[in-house]
Amino acid sequence: MSTRCPDCVNRGTQCYPDCPFARANFTATEYLETRKYNNIDWVRDKLQELSKHEVEYYKRSILYENKCRREDPIGGCLKVNDHVVKAIETLYGQMVKIGYNYLKNKKKEDDDEERNYLIRAELKLL
């Protein structure tokens, strides 16, 4: 039974406990997909230079990017990011409108500075 990491199996080299893909515990499937969507030499170098905590986080990031690329080969992570930004902007716009309408209905002696800020913020969004 082989205890080598997928990268060492692929390259036909001996595997050491501190080899980058052994440190990150990549399975064969995760490794193959990472190789498919990334420059594997670059990923190996990156894994080598990171701390144990960073390696775990980096692996999660790579696997998430692989998943996005698998589900949407053209858009990938960028499309997911664009959707999130758009959703935040929409919600922010709705919050500003709610705040604007609330302040518009308040009496004149209320905080004019905050009211003017929200009016300016809404004008910027329109």
Binding-site ranges for Zn ion (CB under 5 A)? 5, 8, 15, 19, 22
- Amino acid at site 45: D
Give exposure, 86-117, as e/b (b: 16+ Cβ within 10 Å). Answer: eeeeeeeeeebeebbeebeeeeeeeeeeebee
Q: In the complex with Zn ion, which residue's Cβ is closer, 18 or 113?
A: 18
End-to-end CA distance of the chain: 64
The least distance separating Zn ion from the CB of residue 38, rounded to whole angstroms, comes to: 17
Smallest separation, CB 46 to Zn ion (Å): 15
Q: How far is the CB of 23 from Zn ion (least distance, A)?
A: 9
Least distance from Zn ion to the Cβ atom of residue 58, Å:
16
Show the DSSP H helices in 72-111 as ranges: 76-104
Q: Cα–Cα distance between 94 and 92 in angstroms, integer?
A: 5
